[in-house]
């Protein structure tokens, strides 16, 4: 049970929020100073194919439900996308703003500030920065001539990412990365991410959950491809949404705490919240 005082504060903010949301889509700033630890349920979700997947109607239903229950629902994006993408996405007003962002395949851990900035949390990123050790230039140089890898145009802080042609990638590409003490994570048969060792969505979500003091049984991890496996395997309530990559289901589909949804994308998240009785 939460203290009465918290409830009262949250309800006041609900009233503040609904007015602009009804007239102009999902607007920033998300005006809830209430910490996530005081909310009944926290959704930690992948974006492409998961939160952004499913029919437009299913997405609208989920997003509206979140906004209408924002006082008791926290939202964390856990994605391969970078902060600039999320700013554009949520700035459109069509998608609710998250409270926190784990971006860049787990190599960014950030809060959304009252000013609308996606601001990295240094204490949570220290270990990531150390493990990466400024390896970007070395990775790009070593993999420059590897077939089947096309460097993505954006420079990321703690990773190097390629679009991959899986039929052409050679084992040597993996070996070169390993020699640098880094790790390769492939996903959806088309992304080849070079990451600091031991860093991915799951470990970063775990770190953020501990930092925020969340009750693990009230957090739902949602995903659809192989780079979501580490967070779906954490042991917290989880959903592999309908349409998930076969290899993700092979890895985590049999786990007791993972709900394999029928509903595709947003509908699968909605289904899991009901089936697992999370709100
Ligand atoms: Mg996805």
The CATH number of the structural domain formed by 130-196 is 3.90.1070.10
> How much distance in Å is there from the Cα of 50 to the middle of ligand 1?
6
What span, in angstroms and rounded, lies between the C-alpha atoms of 141 and 194? 13
Distance 245 CA to ligand 1 centre (A): 9
The beta strands (E) that lie in 127-257 are given as 149-151, 160-164, 182-187, 191-196, 219-223, 238-242
Distance of CA 246 to the CA centre of its chain: 20
Query: How far is the centre of ligand 1, averaged over its atoms, from the C-alpha of 224 (Å)?
Result: 5
Do the domains spanning 36-127+199-275 and 130-196 agree at the CATH topology level? no
pLDDT of residue 27: 67
Distance CA 126, CA 131 (A): 9
Neighbours of ion ligand 1 (CB under 5 A): 46, 48-49, 224-225
CA of 35 to the centre of ligand 1 (A): 27
Distance 37 CA to ligand 1 centre (A): 26
In DSSP terms, which residues pair with 161 in a beta bridge? 193
Q: Where are the domains of the chain?
A: 36-127+199-275, 130-196
pLDDT at 30: 60
Q: Give the Å distance between the CA of 13 and the centre of ligand 1.
A: 32
Q: Which residues of the chain have pLDDT under 50?
A: 1-24
- Residue 29 DSSP code: -
Contact predicate 234/221, CB 8 Å: yes
CATH architecture designation of domain 36-127+199-275: 3-Layer(aba) Sandwich (3.40)
SS3 at position 149: strand
Residue 189 Cα, ligand 1 centroid: separation in angstroms? 12
Q: Check residue 212 and give its pLDDT.
A: 97
Left if phi > 0, otherwise alpha if psi is -120 to 50, otherwise beta: which for 277?
Answer: left
Q: Give the pairing type, strands 118-120 and 108-112.
A: antiparallel
- CA 190/CA 49 separation, integer angstroms: 14
Contact (CB, 8 A) for 223 and 110: no
- Residue 3 CA to ligand 1 centre (angstroms): 37
The C-alpha torsion from 80 through 62 and 259 to 104, rounded to 10°, is 10
Q: Please give the distance, rounded to the nearest whole angstrom, from the Cα atom of residue 187 to the centre of ligand 1.
A: 9
């Amino acid at each position: 049970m939460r203290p009465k005082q918290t409830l009262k504060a949250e309800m006041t903010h609900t009233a503040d929020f609904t007015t602009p949301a009804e007239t102009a889509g999902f607007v920033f700033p998300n005006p809830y100073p209430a910490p996530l630890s005081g909310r009944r349920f926290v959704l930690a979700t992948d974006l492409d194919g998961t939160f952004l997947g499913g029919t437009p109607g299913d997405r609208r239903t989920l997003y509206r439900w979140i906004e209408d229950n924002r006082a008791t629902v926290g939202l964390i994006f856990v994605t391969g996308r970078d902060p600039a993408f999320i700013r554009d996405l949520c700035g459109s007003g069509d998608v609710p703003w998250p409270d926190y962002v784990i971006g860049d395949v787990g190599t960014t851990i950030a809060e959304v500030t009252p000013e609308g900035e996606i601001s990295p949390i240094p204490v949570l990123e220290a270990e990531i920065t150390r493990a990466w050790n400024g390896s970007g230039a070395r990775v790009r140089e070593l993999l420059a001539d590897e077939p089947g890898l096309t460097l993505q145009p954006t420079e990321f802080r703690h990773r190097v990412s390629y679009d991959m042609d899986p039929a052409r990638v050679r084992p040597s590409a993996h070996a070169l990365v390993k020699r640098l003490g880094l790790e390769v994570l492939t996903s959806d048969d088309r992304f080849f991410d070079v990451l600091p060792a031991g860093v991915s969505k799951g470990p970063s979500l775990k770190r953020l959950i501990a930092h925020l003091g969340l009750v693990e049984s009230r957090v739902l991890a949602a995903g659809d491809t192989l780079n979501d496996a580490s967070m779906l395997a954490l042991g917290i309530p989880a959903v592999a949404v309908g349409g998930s990559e076969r290899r993700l289901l092979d890895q985590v589909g049999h786990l007791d705490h993972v709900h394999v949804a029928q509903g595709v994308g947003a509908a699968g998240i909605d289904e899991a919240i009901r089936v697992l009785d999370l709100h």
